[in-house]
Amino acid sequence: MKNTKAFTLVELLVVISIIAILLAVLMPALNKAKEQGRMVVCRNNEKALGLGASLWSNDHDGWVVAMDWFKDVGDNGYESSLGPYIGATDKAKKNTVKVCPTAMHARFFKSDKNFRSDETRYTYAVNAYIVYNGGVGKSPGRPGLPTSGGLNSTAEPMDGRGVYWTEHGRNKVTDIRQPAKTVYFIDHEYYFAIEWLFDPTLTIQEIKSKYGITDPNYKFTTRWHQKKSKNEYGIGNILWFDGHVSVEPSDFAQSAVISGVRKYRWRYYFYEH
């Protein structure tokens, strides 16, 4: 009988070690490639949102979308939904153009007593300074509402929350001064972005302190692509008002003191121009 050759224990250990080293080297590159793919899908989703918003505006006298852009037709009593224009409804929920694949993969969504965030419904936020002017006169287009109006103003009542929440936004497409430099939609866990829900220069704790938020569960995640740790931001994809989509500008989260006043660059892209 012939002797059959076999691996020795040492040889097996060497092979296993080589495989482990190769995996350690290749896995980060593979994960990075996967994330790059998810970012491409995310940008395509935002392009679809931009096209849908443009078609919606054409059908609604040139207005920008309302705050309730994400709801199904008739959910707020008015035809403000983007659903028919982007082929995505809340009833379908998962895997629609309203949901970023990186956000689904990360599973970081939370709920608290004041806000409901749900990764199966939407992971993009409309620029509230376009839609509602933040209730404090900040806008890249028309002058804003009185400072006393707030987000729940009934100064222009409709469904108890105002026409800009349920029917159409505050601005018309032609009102926006610099469409190529104005955010329309951005990666965000909530459906609209405004300072007390979105501030890329502050940590969650700093936002809570600045705006007097006491809810221990308060946490809104934003700019989640290519995050290196749970406690820091990554980068975000942005749909600009002129319809093009890109990764956020390199200075997006920067600030500087100019003539004794601190200027936040992200505000420039939202409304301060």
11, exposed or middle or buried, with CB in 10 Å at 0-12, 13-18, 19+?
exposed
Does any domain span residue 1?
A: no
The closest of 144, 135, 137, 130 to 238, measured between CA atoms, is 130
Please answer whether residues 238 and 244 qualify as being in contact, where contact means their C-beta atoms are separated by less than 8 angstroms: no
pTM recorded for the entire structure: 0.80
Where is pLDDT greater, at 185 or 31?
Answer: 185
Tens digits of residue pLDDT in 67-93: 889 888 887 777 678 989 998 776 656
Q: How would residue 43 be classed by pLDDT, with cut points 50, 70 and 90?
A: very high
The closest of 253, 236, 250, 252 to 102, measured between CA atoms, is 236
pLDDT for the residue numbered 78: 72
pLDDT for the residue numbered 116: 55
Whole-angstrom distance, CA of residue 160 vs CA of residue 234:
37
What stretches of 211-264 show up as alpha helix (H) in DSSP?
none
Tens digits of residue pLDDT in 96-154: 888 888 877 665 555 455 555 555 678 899 999 998 876 567 889 887 654 444 444 44
pLDDT for the residue numbered 154: 44
The closest of 189, 73, 197 to 128, measured between CA atoms, is 197
Does any domain span residue 3?
A: no
pLDDT for the residue numbered 266: 94
Where is pLDDT greater, at 113 or 63?
Answer: 63
Does any domain span residue 4?
A: no
Residue 255 in this model has a pLDDT that exceeds 80: yes
pLDDT for the residue numbered 160: 42
For 23, the enclosing helix (H) or strand (E) is helix 9-59
Whole-angstrom distance, CA of residue 239 vs CA of residue 220:
19
Number of separate domains in the chain: 1
- 77: Cβ contacts below 8 Å, ≥ 6 apart: 159, 166
pLDDT for the residue numbered 158: 41
pLDDT for the residue numbered 109: 56
Where is pLDDT greater, at 264 or 215?
Answer: 264
pLDDT for the residue numbered 147: 45
Neighbours of 186 (CB within 10 A): 25
pLDDT for the residue numbered 101: 86
Does any domain span residue 100?
A: yes
pLDDT for the residue numbered 236: 92
Does any domain span residue 2?
A: no
| Domain boundaries, position 263 | 9-270
Q: What angle do CA 60, 63, 68 make, to 5 degrees?
A: 85
Whole-angstrom distance, CA of residue 107 vs CA of residue 94:
13
Whole-angstrom distance, CA of residue 261 vs CA of residue 227:
30
Whole-angstrom distance, CA of residue 32 vs CA of residue 192:
29
pLDDT for the residue numbered 244: 96
Does any domain span residue 78?
A: yes
Residue 6 in this model has a pLDDT that exceeds 70: no
Residue 159 in this model has a pLDDT that exceeds 80: no
At 86, give phi and psi (nearest 5°): -120, 0
Q: For the chain, what is the mean pLDDT? A: 79
Mean pLDDT of 224-236: 79
Does any domain span residue 204?
A: yes
Residue 62 in this model has a pLDDT that exceeds 90: yes
